[in-house]
Structure 1
Amino acid sequence: GFPRFKSKKRNKNSYSTLCINGNITLSNGYLRLPKIGQIRLKQHRFVPSEYRLKSVTVSQTPSGKYYASILFEYEDQVQEKEMQKFLGLDFSMHELYRDSNGKEPAYPGYYRNAEKKLAREQRKLSRMQKGSNNRNKQRLKVAKLHEKVSNQRKDFLHKQSRQITNAYDCVCIEDLDMKAMSRTLNFGKSVSDNGWGMFTTFLKYKLEEQGKKLVKVGRFFASSQTCSVCGYKNAKTKNLALREWDCPQCGTHHDRDVNAAINIRNEGMRLVIA
């Protein structure tokens, strides 16, 4: 059967085991693990015969689902591509990002949409007696709601990062401290709902798989204050409420986020070419 985890304190249980002398095998829809035996599984992708199995991590989610993450070793030579198409991304609290072409992904805000339902189910859970069967059933219901929001977010971020990776050779972003930003600006829920850190992680490994690059511009680079046309620095843009402004020097009208994304792209190009 399934492994039984001993810890009652952690809400996500997992254990890892190394492949030694062929004690772990994957064949015909079954995974054989040491001390457990054969387990039937749903395999998500085909594994080439030349891949060498190294280890397996079995985990259980709070909703009660089991997953086996299998690590393989293989040789792969990635050829670096010539950097021709550049894109700049500026973090946005509501749309996830604005790019240097003025486009935005229209992020749905999955946590915000499910917030009322989550609050209602969590209130029910808090009123139930600890250790009772009804509390355990309600705990699973809350865990499934959180898991659904998490899966929706991951699906959206994977699709967005794949579209960008296929279209551009180099993506430039700011090196932001998201944890500090959520604390200082009191935007914790919005920052967590966007999943910017997860998005940049997805973007990085997808680009590297194709020989492309993710360039991070320093967090103190004045992307929002600088005019992308003439280079004039406008100190008034330190006020986050100012979303649009006109350059006093060249007269160009700027959207704050698009202008920042263009500056990030230009600075990333400078770093790559240098």
Structure 2
Amino acid sequence: MQKICITQAKKTQEREWLSEVSNIPLQQSIADLGVAWNNFFASIKGKRKGKRVNSPKFKKRTNRQSARFRKGGFSIKAAKVFLAKIGCIKTKWSRPLPSEPSSLTVIKDTAGRYFLSFVVEVQPETKLASNPAVGIDLGIKIFAALSTSERVASPSYSKLDRKIRRSQRKLSRRSKTSKRRERMRLKVAKLKAKLRDIRKDFLHKLSTKVINENQVIAASKCVDKATQN
């Protein structure tokens, strides 16, 4: 597969641009394709547990994209990251790396933002919880009610949600081949990414707080009787 999709493809006029990038992400994409097909065939034969896996499909250019580099394809130089055939990239670090990374994944989301995800080895930490146990009741008006009498309200997304709906209506009126549609598509993607980040930030902070402060966690969720029937 690597010989056909990489070596021979570089010799064609339509795929000669493959020579401009490093071989490492190309080889990783072939390896990922092999894993995807193995999972698909194992799923239809009943050898794979869980939900049935569909066959791999081509990704759209406007969707989330990623490229994975192994050792030898990247290095860290001070505050910058060097990628093979790309050069040094100025990076804003969210946190220091606890150990030397074994691989690096470059991610581009639908909003056009780039992220670097490192695979590192860390030692697990043991923390003493202040509470022996806590019960959590997930609701509708109140996001969570804790047995410690604490009430956790969900952030308000209504203002941002209205912006998204308004931008989506404008996007639907744009011509599919126009540059104005692409600019509006990017605007909608950025608004959705902002909403997604706010939700993740809220959930991660809440879950981390609950886990660090309690040894045992019991959760329950309200179920609508009409839906249950």
Q: Is this a same-fold pair by TM over 0.5?
A: yes
The equivalent of 1:118 in structure 2 is: 164
2:5 corresponds in structure 1 to: none
Q: Which residue of the partner structure matches residue 231 of structure 1?
A: none
Distance 1:81 1:11, change over 3 A: same
From 18, 23, 26, give the equivalent of 2:70. Answer: 18
What's the secondary structure of 1:124's corresponding residue? helix
Say if 2:79 is the partner of 1:32.
no
Q: Quick one: which of 146, 152, 162 aligns to 1:105? A: 152
Distance 1:163 1:10 in 2: 36
**Cα distance change on mapping 1:116 and 1:84 into 2, 3 Å:** closer
Deviation at 1:34, TM superposition (A): 2.7
Q: 1:168, 1:80 → 2: CA distance?
A: 10
* 1:161 lines up with 2:207 in the alignment: yes
Residues in 1 aligned to 2:113 and 2:166: alpha-carbon distance in whole angstroms: 23
* Residues 43 and 12 of structure 1, relative CA distance in 2, 3 Å threshold: same
2: CA distance, partners of 1:12 / 1:77: 31
Cα contact 1:16–1:56 (8 A) shared by 2: yes
Instruction: Kindly indicate whether residue 87 of structure 2 is the aligned counterpart of residue 41 of structure 1.
Output: no
Give the secondary structure class of the aligned counterpart of 2:205: helix
Matches within 5 A, 1:77-226: 77-79=124-126, 81=128, 85-110=132-157, 112-174=158-220
Number of aligned positions between the proteins:
172
| Structure 1 residue 57: Cα displacement | 1.0
Q: Which runs of 5+ in 1 are unaligned?
A: 186-237, 241-274
By how many angstroms is 1:98 displaced? 1.4
SS of structure 2 residue aligned to 1:130: coil
Q: 1:151 to 1:107 in 2, by over 3 A?
A: same
In 1, Cα distance between equivalents of 2:208 and 2:111: 28
| 1:65 lines up with 2:113 in the alignment | yes
- 1:139 aligned partner, one-letter code: R
Letter in 1 for 2:177: G
Within 1, Cα distance between the matches of 2:127 and 2:95? 26
1:55 to partner: Cα distance: 0.9
Within 1, Cα distance between the matches of 2:181 and 2:175?
A: 6
Provide the rounded CA distance (Å) in 2 between the counterparts of 1:25 and 1:158: 30
**Structure 2 length as normaliser, TM-score?**
0.64
Aligned AA (1:70): F
Preserved CA contact (<8 Å) 1:83 1:170: no
Distance 1:63 1:38 in 2: 23
Normalised to the residue count of structure 1, the TM-score between the two structures is 0.54
Which AA in structure 1 matches 2:137? D
CA contact (8 A) 1:58 1:66 kept: yes
* Aligned amino acid, residue 42 of structure 1: K
CA distance in 1, matches of 2:162, 2:139: 24
User: Residue 62 of structure 2 contacts residue 110 of structure 2 at CA under 8 Å; is this kept in 1?
Assistant: no
**Distance apart, 1:10 and its partner CA:** 5.1
**2:70 touches 2:102 (CA, 8 Å); kept in 1?**
yes
The residue that corresponds to 2:55 in the other structure is none
Partner amino acid, structure 1, of 2:120: F
In structure 2, list runs of 5 or more residues that go unmatched: 1-20, 23-57
